Amino acid sequence: MTDPFGRTIDYLRISVTDRCNERCLYCMPEGYKGWAQKADHLSAEQLVAIAAAAARLGFRKFRLTGGEPLIRADFLDIARGIGALPGLHSLGVSTNGLKLAPLAADLARAGVRSVNVSLDALDPARYRRITGGDLAQVLAGIRAAQAENLFVKLNCVLMRGVNEEDYRPLIHLSAELGAPLRFIELMPLSSTDLLTEKNFLSVVELRRRLDAESPLEPLSDYRPGHGPARYWRDRATGAHLGFIGALTTSDFCASCNKLRLTADGKLRPCLGRHGELDLKAALASGSPEALESLLARAIAEKPENHEFTDNYQPARPMTAIGG
């Protein structure tokens, strides 16, 4: 299906929970307690029913995210249900990696093919300061996922003065693992102290800096996922580096191909706008057509651009939308 701006929309990012076992500085407000009640979360059956309706409309790519998706007890049921949809092109998971090692084999069996792992630092103390989590567990998870032939990408959020010393070690790890590393600009998606101009580092500045240290060559046709990253290759190490600059890339939205589904059943046409469509009544009606029609409406309501640069004030934190 195409939206009013001619973009093909065939990618659904599904948040399965707003809860998390980490508390990243840029994602979760200090002392955050605004979790949705369990009863507000869609069931595995409801999530699969929405994905099936999307598949009938032509959606081919699905990603399960959160919050931290792997903490949901019935996560494998959700993955299996979506993994079995006809016409499926890809099923990925975005995770902080803490629970990846024990689950990697089950994920592969459930039909998951790729895993995006957040990795903001390689210094264990700094990793803990940023996320509250244990780096060794995440690294074990990445290796376990690769051992199961899951395609791993690494995600690192850019924070001036917080994790800059980690960028070069992360590039080396990316090369060693053969796992693309994507640098993500901070987005105003939460109300945490970290989201200030002072901490903002643009992908343009980072790319210039990296290129000056060790030349980068553009990989114009390389698109290992379905997201908005633009890729370069670090000639010295061979690492494939993606740059996701939602705030500073002028045509960032031109290739947008996705809708988002929140864990409490709202369809979001754009991450960087407040508009949402509630699917709960359609789910309660049990009518697959009602779901399809709301998905089609969300596509029709996709705006041309996000509003991040317009003094955007997040109404709910990233964990509650789904990254």
Q: Which CB atom, from 28 or from 156, has the smaller least distance to ligand SF4?
A: 28
Q: How far is residue 95 from each of residues 98, 114, 116, 188, 203, measured CA to CA in Å?
A: 8, 11, 6, 20, 22
For the bound state, the minimum distance from the C-beta of residue 263 to ligand SF4, rounded and expressed in Å, comes to 11
- We find the least distance from the C-beta atom of residue 249 to ligand SF4, in angstroms, to be 21
Quote the least distance from Cβ 60 to ligand SF4, whole Å: 25
Residue 200 CB, shortest distance to ligand SF4, in Å, is 17
Per-residue x/- track, 146-185, ligand SAM (CB under 6 A): ---------x-x--------------------------x-
Partner in contact with 23, chosen from ligand SAM, ligand SF4, none, beta carbon below 5 to 8 Å by kind:
ligand SF4
Burial pattern 245-260, b for ≥16 Cβ within 10 A else e, equals bbbebeebbeebbbbb
Size (the chain), residues:
323
Q: Which of positions 24-53 make contact with ligand SAM (CB under 6 A)?
A: 26-27
In one-letter notation, the amino acid at residue 81 is G
The yes or no reply on residue 225 touching ligand SF4 (CB under 6 A) is: no
Contacts of 170 (CB under 8 A, 6+ apart): 119, 121, 122, 154, 156, 181
Q: Which is nearer to ligand SF4, 10 or 317 (CB)?
A: 317
Choose between 163 and 294: whose C-beta lies nearer to ligand SAM.
163
Closest CA to 15 of 276, 311, 305, 261: 261
User: Given candidates 10, 22, 166, 185, which one binds ligand SF4 under the rule CB under 6 A?
Assistant: 22
95 binding ligand SAM? (CB under 6 A):
yes
Minimum CB separation of residue 309 from ligand SAM in Å reads 14
Q: Are 170 and 160 in contact (CB under 8 A)?
A: no
- Quote the least distance from Cβ 18 to ligand SAM, whole Å: 10
CB 268 within 8 A of CB 243: no
Strand segments (E) across the chain: 11-15, 61-65, 90-95, 114-118, 151-157, 181-184, 216-218, 230-234, 240-244, 258-261, 266-268, 277-278
Q: How far is Cα 30 from Cα 87, in angstroms, rounded to an integer?
A: 42
Query: Closest Cα partner for 242 from 39, 80, 234, 317?
Result: 234
Closest approach, Cβ 61 to ligand SF4, in A, equals 20
The backbone torsions φ and ψ at residue 271, rounded to the nearest 5 degrees and listed phi first, read: -65, -35
Binds 186: which of ligand SF4, ligand SAM, none (CB < 5-8 Å by kind): ligand SAM
- Cβ contact 246:221 at 8 Å: no
Residue 319 binds to ligand SF4 (criterion: CB under 6 A)? yes
User: Judged by CB under 6 A, which of 68, 166, 264, 276 binds ligand SAM?
Assistant: 68
For binding to ligand SAM (CB under 6 A), which residues are involved? Answer: 20, 26-27, 65-66, 68, 94-96, 118, 155, 157, 184, 186-187, 189-190, 318-319, 323
